[in-house]
Amino acid sequence: MIELENVSKIYRMGKVEVPALRGVSLNIQQGEMVSIIGPSGSGKSTLMNIIGCLDKPSSGSYMFEGANVSQLSDNRLAEMRNKKFGFAFQEYNLLSRASALANVELPLIYSGSRQKREQAMEALERVGLRERANHKPTELSGGEQQRVAIARALVNNPVLILADEPTGNLDSASTAEIIAIFRQLNRDGITVLIVTHETDIASQTKRTIRLLDGQIISDERVD
Amino acid sequence: MKLFESFVIAIRSLSANKLRSSLTMLGMIIGVGAVISLMSIGSGAQAMITSTFEQMGTNVLTVMPSSPEAGGLMGMGMAMTSPSLTLDDAKALERVRSVVAVAPVNENFIEVTAGGESKTAIIHGSAPEYQQVYSYYLASGQFISDRNVASRDLVLVLGSGVAEELFGSDNPVGQRVKMKGHRFTVIGVLEPKGGAMMGFSLDDVVVTPITTYQTKLFTQRTPSGEDAVQSIAVQVASAEAMDEAREDIETVLRKYHRIASDEKDDFAVISMEQMLDILQQVTGIFTIFLGAIASISLLVGSIGIMNIMLVSVTERTREIGIRKAVGAKRRDILLQFLVEAAMLSLAGGSIGIIGGWLLSVLISQVDIGGTTLQAVVSPDIVILAVSVSVFIGLASGIYPAIRAARLNPIDALHYG
């Protein structure tokens, strides 16, 4: 499903060029659950952004579901993010003034859905937060907020979920809950990609890709 | 994203901080309110002028001095200080064919005092024909006569407004009043006429013989040393005869004033219609001028909106990043902020329209010299105000909206 071929990303900060990724090639099949691990500055977030079409590679090619998405227009990338991918971030990135339900409905606004409420409630049901639908993020615990973010990521039935340090701000109990949700989603057929710097999170996935200084240094499967 | 969605999102964003939204709208409210009420006052004034003139007889030509060097309005203004008409001119015009009556008229403000009460009125120094030319009718007593004029009698005819204020329900005929230190005897009272001109009721007028006016009240001399006449009102037999009468008057006066055929007139013959036009023009320009000044506050209001929208975009950088991450396109973000700005200005404009309308209703209640000025908010003023509001919203919002739409989602998510 995901084919990266010699992908590089260079950031320009004034006169300085910072290479975040150098010649990364990898294949991820549909239905896999993969963790990407590495120290900070290794390029793991950049890699996730490119896979999730939040960013474009500076060079190299990225084939998603057989189509070249490396140089798509901004509008096409936005459509991909809306329909194909779902994101979860370390800081949850929810709208603080809107209820959980409204947050989950957000992607549906941009996909033009006429049944936003029903679809959002279904997604909340899936993460076990149906009763908290009308609460605002400030009224929810960290773990609940992350579950709302996951429900939002799910609401348009994506094929791939990308999570960037999803348990970074959570205690161990909530962490376990969140990882369990990801594993369930994976069993339901959704490909899951988790970026982390913690090995015990990575050990819960079947495949771990290790990055250092913008390059893949190992790619191990665990059965 | 459908347009309806963006309205919902905009309303939610604006209600999230009601104080800020209200303050931002204030500029638009004041601006639109000011423009609406000023323009409605302007059109009310224009309507009032038209109706006043309609009451004053339409077959009347007015001869006024005019400076030969400058023409039109300017010339007549300058001629206030260089008068060129005399009673002999008035007499000469009586013989022009199609002319029914001729009345010389001198005009000024004057204070009329009677037994402790005093009132500022407009004094007209004139002759018996004044009644006919200006359609004033007597309620009691008699009008000034040719003999009064010849003898420069200290007699006075009061307009109904003056009579009422100075004498109440008493009969003023035979009583004495004081003007400029002289004692005048009231010989008649005019019937009420209604109407107003430039804020002065047509019933607040007093009439005295022109000769009395010239010698006892306000003296003015022509360059050749005679007593000056400010204007001569000429009543023409019919509307059709107006053009012909005008030509004849000009011929007669040119002869009397010894103006050579290549020289310009030192007088001007103006019909009521022309007067009306001039006054309408002046009021019209004045109205536009007032409107333009009021529009300055509209400009300030729109700058306020742009300012707040820019702040808002910066504050909501992360929100914009989130929206883009879940699939919002540039145009979705652009639309969101543009609609927000347009809503702010439309809401402000609507409140301003209501406020301006209320203000003009209030002003219409104010008594100006016996009548009121009907300030009317016409539908086209409202449509204009609404369109301008929306336009201002879009114009002020476009720059902040473009900035918002261009944000890089990754950077935006990490902001703050």
The reply to whether B323 touches chain A by the CB within 8 Å rule is yes
For residue B222, pLDDT beyond 70: yes
For residue B393, pLDDT beyond 80: yes
Among A76, A109, A119, A164, most B C-beta atoms within 10 A, so best to mutate, is A109
Cα dihedral value B359, B362, B368, B371, nearest 10? 120
Q: Do A54 and B325 touch (CB under 8 A)?
A: yes
The reply to whether A138 touches chain B by the CB within 8 Å rule is no
Q: Which residues of B touch A154 (CB under 8 A)?
A: none
Structure confidence at residue B414 (pLDDT): 86
Stretch B130-136: mean pLDDT, rounded? 85
For residue B408, pLDDT beyond 80: yes
Q: Which residues of B touch A72 (CB under 8 A)?
A: none
For residue B77, pLDDT beyond 70: no
Whose CA is closest to B4, among A97, A99, A112, A100?
A112
For residue A186, pLDDT beyond 60: yes
Structure confidence at residue B56 (pLDDT): 63
Question: B281-330: per-residue pLDDT in tens?
Answer: 888 888 888 888 888 888 888 888 899 899 999 999 999 999 999 999 99
Share of chain B above pLDDT 90, in %: 20
Contacts of A181 (CB under 8 A, 6+ apart): A127, A147, A150
pTM over 0.80: no
A192-206, B139-153, B379-393, range with the lowest pLDDT? B379-393
Structure confidence at residue A109 (pLDDT): 92
Q: What is the DSSP string of B51-88?
A: HHHHHT-SSEEEEEE--SSS-HHHHHHHHTSS--B-HH
A92-96, B57-61, B206-210, range with the lowest pLDDT? B57-61
Structure confidence at residue B370 (pLDDT): 54
Q: Do B410 and A55 touch (CB under 8 A)?
A: yes
Q: Is residue A80 part of a domain?
A: yes
The reply to whether B325 touches chain A by the CB within 8 Å rule is yes
Which residues of chain A from 174 to 213 reach within 8 Å of chain B, CB to CB? Answer: none
ipTM of the complex: 0.94
Stretch B219-238: mean pLDDT, rounded? 84
Structure confidence at residue B75 (pLDDT): 52
The reply to whether B410 touches chain A by the CB within 8 Å rule is yes
- Around Cβ B70, how many Cβ atoms within 10 Å? 14
| CA-to-CA separations, B256 to B54, B165, B259, in angstroms, rounded | 32, 43, 8
Side chain identity at B231, as an amino acid letter? S
Stretch B217-227: mean pLDDT, rounded? 81
For residue A60, pLDDT beyond 80: yes
> pLDDT-derived band of residue B48, with 50, 70 and 90 as boundaries?
confident
For residue A123, pLDDT beyond 90: yes
CB B278 within 8 A of CB B73: yes
Contacts of B201 (CB under 8 A, 6+ apart): B161, B194, B195, B369, B370, B371
A50-59, B30-39, B310-319, range with the lowest pLDDT? B30-39
Stretch B233-259: mean pLDDT, rounded? 85
Total tally of structural domains belonging to chain A: 1
Question: B162-203: per-residue pLDDT in tens?
Answer: 888 888 888 889 889 999 989 999 999 998 877 666 567 778
| CA-to-CA separations, B408 to B211, B330, B338, in angstroms, rounded | 88, 10, 19
Average pLDDT over all residues of chain B: 84
CB B338 within 8 A of CB B397: yes
Stretch B197-222: mean pLDDT, rounded? 83
Stretch A185-197: mean pLDDT, rounded? 93
* Beta strands B99-114; B231-236: pairing state: antiparallel
Structure confidence at residue B256 (pLDDT): 83
C-alpha count within 13 angstroms, C-beta hemisphere, residue A67: 9
| Residue bearing tokens 């290794």 | A42
Contacts of A49 (CB under 8 A, 6+ apart): A55, B410
Structure confidence at residue B195 (pLDDT): 66
Structure confidence at residue B132 (pLDDT): 86
Closest-CA distance, B14 to chain A, in angstroms, reads 12
Q: Is residue A62 part of a domain?
A: no
Q: What is the DSSP string of B79-129?
A: HTSS--B-HHHHHHHTTSTTEEEEEEEEEEEEEEEETTEEEEEEEEEE-TH
Q: Is residue A198 part of a domain?
A: yes
Structure confidence at residue B286 (pLDDT): 82
Q: Which residues of A touch B318 (CB under 8 A)?
A: 93
Whose CA is closest to A55, among A183, A164, A137, A205?
A164
Nearest to B327 among A79, A94, A95 (CB): A79
The string over B114-135, giving b where at least 16 C-beta atoms fall within 10 Å of a residue's C-beta and e elsewhere, is: beeeebebbbbbbbbbbbbbbe
Structure confidence at residue B276 (pLDDT): 77
Stretch B396-406: mean pLDDT, rounded? 92
Q: Which neighbouring-strand residues pair with A89? A: A164
Closest-CA distance, B6 to chain A, in angstroms, reads 9
Residue B308, token pair as written in the block: 């707040």
Question: A8-43: per-residue pLDDT in tens?
Answer: 999 888 889 889 999 999 999 999 999 999 988 888
Structure confidence at residue B372 (pLDDT): 67
Structure confidence at residue B57 (pLDDT): 62
- Around Cβ B96, how many Cβ atoms within 10 Å? 19
* Beta strands B205-209; B182-190: pairing state: unpaired
List the domain boundaries for chain B.
Answer: 3-53+278-413, 85-265
Q: Which residues of A touch B319 (CB under 8 A)?
A: 95
DSSP H or E stretch at residue B305: helix B272-315
CB B63 within 8 A of CB B267: yes
Q: What is the DSSP string of A99-135?
A: -HHHHHHHHHHHHT-S-HHHHHHHHHHHTT-GGGTT-
Stretch B197-211: mean pLDDT, rounded? 81
The string over B205-233, giving b where at least 16 C-beta atoms fall within 10 Å of a residue's C-beta and e elsewhere, is: bbbbbbbbbbebbbebebeeebbbbbbbb
> pLDDT-derived band of residue B367, with 50, 70 and 90 as boundaries?
low
Q: Which domain holds residue A93?
A: 31-56+74-221
The reply to whether B415 touches chain A by the CB within 8 Å rule is no
CB A105 within 8 A of CB A120: yes
Give the CATH number for residue A123: 3.40.50.300
